[in-house]
Structure 1
């Protein structure tokens, strides 16, 4: 179960109002102020789903997606209900349009959120480190995103935090595995606020009651403390400070693929501190300035071991010891400074330009080898909103970056066009180049690599009318300079390439059936890569050619209750046994069984103490993920000699939850009802 499983399942439907707040211009607004009414429907949106005023009605917003059954209150999991995202059950992150999870980056108030999830655990997705309900603006771009952001070859998740709360409030929850409390205090002059929160989760009891394949000997446990401060400055300024500290501990044994008599051990500990400071203000009548500072200190320690049935250390003579027993202990510091200026021109056009600098330092052990590296990455960017006619808009931008670690430059032009066909429909096009540095696991031992890159071509058609929304999008991505392994001399080179192309459909209907909201998504993906140890271009093991999701939300106003049902289906994914024998060779391959999962959640809202001065808003919910208990297979682990293989599956056939919570100060009942009709 995820860190906030019970709490977030309960509160997810209560906070969808945040998805209706507009994003500020520095994030997604493509319509300058003062635009005539007949132009307000022309928004450049190829490749993007956003939560803003423009996304009201029947279009799907990410915060809507959080209420999809099975999301665990995790925004990344919730976004898997959108087209273009793969249904990956064995690890965290977003795998978008043939890209790895490392190719999707998250940004908070303009700055990079470098460590969005707790430390990765083999075969078990880890929860997000931040509460999605802190954000009022969300843009999920699956391709062709703005020149204001970089270092993400596939996708960008751009988040804007809430300014000031509506009023002071408090909340708490108490469950066998999850406990927490928090408050938000709004000053009497409505110009400043502060908030505090503490959450703790320990899944030991739950894992003892629900059988799991891993034998947990520690945790999993997660704890975080967070604080925020916000204040209006002058007539137009807004200063926001957010800080969070979190810690995780997990230890488990699994059957060893090389020997039925032995077990593979894994123990992981993580500590993270993240701070974000942002400030925006108007500079006269036609200028706006936005600045951001972020700092993160991250410590991940992971130990692999091999033990016998009694828990004593063991070894296998035919398998190199370092493959079964090694330690990684990396301490990382990351900092970013960013500044963006917007100049509003005549005829409702605008120009944005700015710069940012990233500092990253890693030091410690990586698989028993001492590593240290420091990188300074600088970027400048510019972008312009152009209205060519009353029905044709454009966004043109460029981004230049330099990395000190690789001593490489990149120049990334980007352009998007939007053509309004009618009051209800629009055609969009986007093109751009996107670069990012190779992962640290390669850079630790080889700095003679290039920036990996991808070119995006995106075309979509959207139609929104009568509380129904339809979208079809097609795209093509061309990868270059991907990392390849050369095991003979233990080096890597940037000579890999690949492609991804496909078509995506999305339909949402909130009109046809009373109090019923449903949507359907479909993704077709054709992708191959020649990278890592692939002996030839192959379909990556994380990519399924067909993916579909159906989400249904039914609300019963008279009962203040709701039923959420979701069904996800994906074609089987490829798996390979690739080993070195006079070069990389493919010894075995196949396709997993199709992925199929049904999730069901039922919730009820109530007020326990209606006479209290500070009215409470309470509720309870129950639910089951993978309701039918379908066995999911995400791939196979192979033994060192290739004779044995072991399926990668869910830790447990089903996941259950039941819980109760209470909040004081803000009654969300009407918001819950309105956002579920």
Structure 2
């Protein structure tokens, strides 16, 4: 009996000490072995690592069911349930590469970021306010980027052979109606919003996301500051006016309010002008911006802007003696929006909001009294689901309400339209690995006024090379309703369309950025008509066109100490049959060759930054009725050399001075011709020039805060 008990006791001891062996080889999906993989039983100290050839062997004395984890940097961890009973297990796991936001490829075709957070940055927010030729205007800075054209007698954003109306502007994802100030013919305008309001921007020269629409050529998405760093007051004294901004910043909320006034009358009395001003441009604006944290990880923003201004200018008429006709213009504008962003459960993110734009223009041209009113109401809701680090899906719904009215008050005549558009979009990103990403999207909409529904497909992909450079391809269809001045006459007109194809190479490394891009745009359903504004007639939708070419951008912040510079060149071959033209012509707003150079150098001993920018193109086409054909002539090339100087007099005091077109070059943007010939059968003309030989700006910016080192650049 004792012998039997001893045998049983030895059997139990032997069983309890029986070892399980787990072994195999760790590979990636391509069959390449992975060395140094950390392999361990969850909740224990039992573990090992894979060898140089990917093989491993783990001996354990434990019994039962456990979770075996395979973990290695750069790969998604894998968990396998194992039953340990003293036997040998062979496991050959396949680890998939994890997607790292900092090292993964990004789609750069048609896209240019301006922020301090994104890796594919072309400009930073501070660059926008320090480009000498920009004079603090957001669009002035973007006109030094590839794909844009400097149309000095307009001031808006012209992209790759497209008219300025083909660019849509968004603030925190919501559309801005009438984003540029109203002006008289051939008098350049500016954006209405202060660049200090924004922390960054996304500028797309084509092939952009399905999230954005109502633009044939370009989307400019501006993102407002989330939370200011501190409470402070900012005083601005400028050669054209002044303003004050007060910011109150708390832990969970903040409030910023500003008021500004400008009047060019004192300035224009000192500096010679090319234009005959009866009353120089003047105006005021006020802004309020509030931010509130929402829950643990959400945010709500409220922004409101209102302004009013005007001008009176004599515009000469070709072939007629005297000052010409007096244009008296007054404008009232308001914009308000509420936006939110919330990070939900299960990898969901939600954002959206509602915006409202209201613009009223009043024209008095000689004895003709006109009033135009434009309203845009945009609401939007978007949900983004991160199904994994490889696959995400973005879907959203939008509604647009467009209202437009124009009245000829001197004749007691008027006309108007209202259009409600519903839009839905979806877009998916799939990372095959850190080097290859695919994006596909659809955007569909419906217009009640045009009685039209449409679907725009969009597709892009990007591949990243080992040296860090990446190649992107984007293609898609883009739709936009024609401008209001034509729709109010012919409400049945339908969408204008453009098809984009873009090939891009992008490399940002060691303080240097290279961006090269080739593009092709095909236009369909362009509007043709006869007459001129307020008297358009014979409107048809039979026009066509194309724009093709390439861009090059190089930025260097490394080669020269304390120096940052970028070089841009764009070639655009654009022709279209549109407007009053019955032939295919090169538009006057699309110069074929465009270039710019921006250099900024910081001199620490002088506490100063010196800037220089030079822009050039080969001239603008125009129609000369004295010659056969259409758009048959071309101006001499455009050139503008601008200088800027920023001096940090004290940590809280900045003095900035800039001068555009330093050499006073007589840039001409075209010619205005008489509608009828003179007694010799010649159509007389007058050149379209810039407002003045040069523009000089001087600003003093003082910040009042408990932190004596704070200044107006801190929140950019």
TM-score of the superposed pair, with normalisation by structure 1: 0.86
Superposed counterparts of 1:24-43, under 5 Å: 36-37=99-100, 40-43=103-106
Once the two structures are superposed, the pairs formed by residues 257-406 of structure 1 within 5 Å of their partners are 257-305=318-366, 326-365=368-407, 369-406=413-450
Q: Are 1:103 and 2:147 an aligned pair?
A: no
Alpha-carbon deviations, 1:527-571, whole Å to 9, x = none? 101011112100001111101101110101122101000111100
Query: Match for residue 664 of structure 1?
Result: 704
Residues 99, 433 of structure 2: 8 Å contact kept: no
Partner residue of 1:250 out of 311, 322, 332: 311
Aligned to 1:546: 593
CA contact (8 A) 1:264 1:304 kept: yes
SS of 2:159's equivalent in the other structure is coil
Match of 1:531 among 557, 561, 578: 578
- 8 Å contact 1:249–1:268 — kept in the other structure? yes
CA contact 1:446–1:491 (8 Å) conserved in 2: no
1:596 counterpart = 2:657: no
State how far apart, in whole Å, the 2-side matches of 1:416 and 1:588 are: 36
1:453 equivalent to 2:497? Answer: yes
Unaligned runs of 5+ in 2: 1-96, 678-682
Deviation at 1:143, TM superposition (A): 0.5
Task: State the alpha-carbon separation in 2 of the partners of residues 197 and 671 from structure 1.
Answer: 13
Which residue number corresponds to residue 641 of structure 1? 676
Closer/same/farther in 2, CA of residues 467 and 672 from structure 1, 3 Å limit: farther
SS at match of 1:346: coil
SS in structure 2 of the partner of residue 205 of structure 1: helix
Q: For 1:673 and 1:128, locate their aligned partners in 2 and report how far apart those are by CA, in whole Å.
A: 22
Task: Give the 3 Å change call, closer, same or farther, for CA 233–349 of structure 1 in structure 2.
Answer: same
Distance 1:420 1:266 in 2: 55
In the TM superposition, residue 176 of structure 1 has moved relative to its aligned partner by 5.3
Partner of residue 490, structure 1:
537
Aligned to 2:6: none
What does residue 87 of structure 2 align with? none
What SS is found at the alignment partner of 1:628? coil
Q: Classify the secondary structure of the residue corresponding to 2:482.
A: coil
Evaluate the alpha carbon distance shift between residue 366 and residue 382 of structure 1 in structure 2; reply closer, same or farther with a 3 A threshold: farther
Separation of aligned partners in 1, 2:318 and 2:126: 40
Give the secondary-structure state (helix, strand or coil) at the position aligned to 1:232: strand
Contact 1:57/1:467 (8 A) holds in 2: no
SS where residue 36 of structure 1 aligns? coil
Q: Which moved more, 1:287-296 or 1:492-501?
A: 287-296
Mapping 1:51-70, distance limit 5 Å: 51-53=114-116, 55=118, 59-61=122-124, 63-70=126-133
Shift of 1:512: 0.9
**Deviation, structure 1 residue 413:** 0.5
CA offset digits 1:216-255 (Å, max 9, x no partner):
2223102001111110011011010000110011001132
Return the alpha-carbon distance in structure 2 between the equivalents of residues 151 and 194 of structure 1. Answer: 32
Q: 1:557 to 1:227 in 2, by over 3 A?
A: same
Distance 1:178 1:38, change over 3 A: closer
Counterpart-to-counterpart distance in 2, 1:628 and 1:180: 30
Conserved 8 A contact 2:166-2:215: yes
Is the 1:483–1:494 contact (alpha carbons within 8 Å) kept by the matching residues of 2? yes
* Inter-CA distance 645–184: structure 2 relative to 1 (3 Å threshold): same
Residue 40 of structure 2: aligned partner: none
**Deviation of 1:668 (Å):** 6.5
Which sits farther off after the overlay, 146-155 or 442-451?
442-451
Structure 2: how far apart are the matches of 1:577 and 1:444? 30
Give 1:632 shift: 0.3
Please say if residues 381 and 400 of structure 1, whose CA atoms lie closer than 8 Å, have aligned partners that are also in contact: yes
In structure 2, which of residues 565, 568, 578 is the aligned counterpart of residue 518 of structure 1?
Answer: 565
Asked if 2 retains the 8 angstrom alpha-carbon contact of 1:52 and 1:138, the reply is: yes
C-alpha displacement of 1:257: 1.4
CA distance in 1, matches of 2:305, 2:345: 34
In structure 1, distance between residues paired with 2:173 and 2:122: 24
1:62, CA displacement in angstroms? 6.0
Equivalent of residue 632 in structure 1, options 667, 676, 682: 667
Query: Which deviates more, 334-343 or 254-263?
Result: 254-263
SS at match of 1:37: coil
Tell me which of 214, 223, 243 is aligned to 1:151.
214
How far apart are 1:100 and its partner, in Å?
0.3
TM-superposed CA distance for 1:667, in Å, is: 6.1
Contact 1:241 1:278 in 2 (8 A): yes
Q: Say if 1:505 and 1:522, in contact at 8 Å, map to a contact too.
A: yes
How far does the alpha carbon of each residue in 1:252-302 deviate from its partner, in whole angstroms, 9 at most, with x for none? 113221302351211111101110100111221311111211112211112
Query: Which one has more relative contact order, counting CA pairs under 8 Å at least 6 apart?
Result: 1
Q: Does the 8 A contact of 1:62 with 1:140 survive in 2?
A: no
Maintained 8 Å contact 1:573/1:634: yes
Aligned alpha-carbon RMSD (Å): 2.4
Alpha-carbon distance change, 175 to 85 in structure 1, aligned in 2, over 3 angstroms = closer
- Contact 1:60/1:508 (CA < 8 Å) preserved in 2? no
Could you tell me whether the CA contact under 8 Å between 2:135 and 2:697 is conserved in 1? no
| Residues in 2 aligned to 1:592 and 1:374: alpha-carbon distance in whole angstroms | 40
Q: Which runs of 5+ in 1 are unaligned?
A: 1-33, 306-324, 608-615
Cα distance in 2 for residues equivalent to 1:129 and 1:144: 26
Aligned length: 610
In the aligned structure 1, how far is the partner of 2:265 from the partner of 2:153?
A: 20
2:157 touches 2:167 (CA, 8 Å); kept in 1? yes
Query: CA–CA distance in 2 between the matches of 1:361 and 1:588?
Result: 34
Candidates 258, 262, 266, aligned match of 1:205? 266
Partner of residue 11, structure 1: none
Query: Corresponding residue for 1:573?
Result: 620
Deviation at 1:36, TM superposition (A): 3.2
Does the 8 Å CA contact 1:191/1:232 hold for their aligned counterparts? yes
> What SS does the aligned partner of 2:261 have?
strand
Cross-structure match for 1:21: none
> 2:690 aligned with 1:650, yes or no?
yes
One of 125, 133, 140 as aligned partner of 2:196: 133
Deviation of 1:361 after TM superposition, in Å, equals 1.4
Contact 2:607-2:648 within 8 A present in 1 as well: yes
Aligned pairs (5 A) from 1:418-437 = 418-437=462-481
Aligned partners of 1:429, 1:155: CA distance in 2, in Å?
A: 16
CA distance, structure 2, for counterparts of residue 439 and residue 63 of structure 1: 33
Residues 620 and 54 of structure 1: CA distance in aligned 2, closer, same or farther (over 3 Å): closer
